[in-house]
Structure 1
């Protein structure tokens, strides 16, 4: 596959039809068709479902898989074209769960950019279990996971921990709620790790049985706004929800274990990732102080 074929295929998929792809690339529709035909012949697969009288296209199973490969190829080409510019700086990729990125570490990222202007940050959102495999596969330089694992050649260090609390839009005025008084069918679950799962099972059964599971705070807010739902979240998230929705932050009679966030990286990392890591660990104490203030407030 050459760059022209790549550009053509991605344009077809993104524009949704051969005619719109042709208009986008400033070529004729017959040229688009010829490029697509040559691509299909080169790999011996049918990439698109094309029916007479139907303007839009759909991908075959092979076309779906090929599209994912084409996206990776596109990324590599962009990086290759930027290699001259990248000599002046290096990108360090960082992965974490949504709530850690947006409610704890956003100020840390700003500090890294201020202190290390020659380094670019690639910030990506993943689930905790994904982060370890991405680190091991050299697809991430640094990860922040809610899970503690032992992996060969991977360094895992606790960065901070924070209290878990109940957010429940209620007007009964109570500040402490009995675990057993909560309706499990109205729970909004985010899986906060192994210790949390054990604690959760004691009161409401396995997390897998929960009716509504979400993975972003935005989804939590949407359901909480409907009323009647409740969620157990870190204090940092609870304060953000309180500011946005005005909902009280409550304690449970049997409190959940604190959420712990771990720094994860290969034992041997490049110079840029080392510099970023130094800023992270210098800021670790500050993050802990901020979390403590949230809990006291």
Structure 2
């Protein structure tokens, strides 16, 4: 219902202090967020937000402070009502960064799909901070990322880790590179960079890999760039078989000072009253497919 959308949007604006970030959380445009807030203010009959010139941050008016308590109580009641519905209609919303969604989650989803009575599943992908915001706001039950969430209301549980490997496209006529190789065996200018984690970026800096010529912000964009002769990229081990099949690249381990392993995290709310016990148990059972 529209009033619920307006309240959820209002809470997203309050929590982020930004119309733009709120728009990302509620999956709407910034103009739609502004329209919903204005519609809510017309319903209430008072201005709820202070919009200061020259400042991107948004503050609450006195009436906004009073309405915040009402909005939070409304949200709790809405969640309790949804919980009643979930007793007969099981529903889980799961998010993941794209590399995990493509290469890691299929066994997890397959396990959940075997549940009886069946679970309605909603799956979405995004950047790790977007997914963390979606979990914090209650739009997702859990998210799977390669970085922990920095949020007081969220818990980041490490599931397992994956070694990093070099995927390399050989050049015609060159001497074959050994399976266990040194980083100097690869042309630094031909690296295809992906932003796996803060630790990974720190390792790259220490090894002198500062300004890659090519980069991809999501893993599904890597294969076309990797098809160029001499191109190479550091990737988690869970991607190597798919890349080998897509591109015909060779896979190598680093003999000296390899990058840190990439960890898979499950992000969830610290206190999630909407997560039915049987659905929590179903998720735990499905997680065993990822921990194997």
What TM-score comes out, normalization by structure 2 length? 0.64
Aligned equivalents of 1:272, 1:256: Cα separation in 2: 37
Which of 215, 219, 228 lines up with 2:221 in the alignment?
A: 219
For the structure 1 residues 246 and 107, does the alpha-carbon distance in structure 2 shift closer, same or farther, using more than 3 Å as the test?
Answer: same
For the structure 1 residues 286 and 182, does the alpha-carbon distance in structure 2 shift closer, same or farther, using more than 3 Å as the test?
Answer: same
Contact kept? 2:167, 2:251, Cα under 8 Å: yes
For the structure 1 residues 133 and 271, does the alpha-carbon distance in structure 2 shift closer, same or farther, using more than 3 Å as the test?
Answer: closer
Aligned equivalents of 1:151, 1:65: Cα separation in 2: 23
Instruction: Compute the displacement of 1:168 (Å).
Output: 0.2
Instruction: Compute the displacement of 1:134 (Å).
Output: 2.0
Q: Does 2:143 align with 1:143? A: yes
Instruction: Compute the displacement of 1:65 (Å).
Output: 4.9
Contact kept? 1:153, 1:266, Cα under 8 Å: yes
Contact kept? 1:129, 1:145, Cα under 8 Å: no
Contact kept? 1:135, 1:265, Cα under 8 Å: yes
How many residue pairs get matched?
213
Q: Which residue of 2 aligns with 1:168?
A: 168
Q: Does 2:282 align with 1:279? A: yes
What TM-score comes out, normalization by structure 1 length? 0.63
Instruction: Compute the displacement of 1:193 (Å).
Output: 0.8
Instruction: Compute the displacement of 1:252 (Å).
Output: 1.2
Instruction: Compute the displacement of 1:203 (Å).
Output: 1.3
Q: Which residue of 1 aligns with 2:206?
A: 202
**Highest Rg: 1 or 2?**
1
Q: Which residue of 2 aligns with 1:177?
A: 181
Q: Deviations over 1:262-288 (max 9, x none)?
A: 111112224556544433333444423
| Runs of 4+ residues over 6 Å off in structure 1 | 67-70
Instruction: Compute the displacement of 1:181 (Å).
Output: 3.5
Q: Which residue of 2 aligns with 1:13?
A: none
Aligned equivalents of 1:113, 1:186: Cα separation in 2: 42
Please report the RMSD computed on the Cα atoms of aligned residues, expressed in angstroms.
2.9
Q: Which residue of 1 aligns with 2:154?
A: 154
1:80-119 equivalences under 5 Å are 88-119=88-119
For the structure 1 residues 201 and 90, does the alpha-carbon distance in structure 2 shift closer, same or farther, using more than 3 Å as the test?
Answer: same
What SS is found at the alignment partner of 1:263? strand
Instruction: Compute the displacement of 1:104 (Å).
Output: 0.9
Q: Which residue of 2 aligns with 1:124?
A: 124
Which of 240, 260, 264 lines up with 1:261 in the alignment?
A: 264
Instruction: Compute the displacement of 1:196 (Å).
Output: 0.8
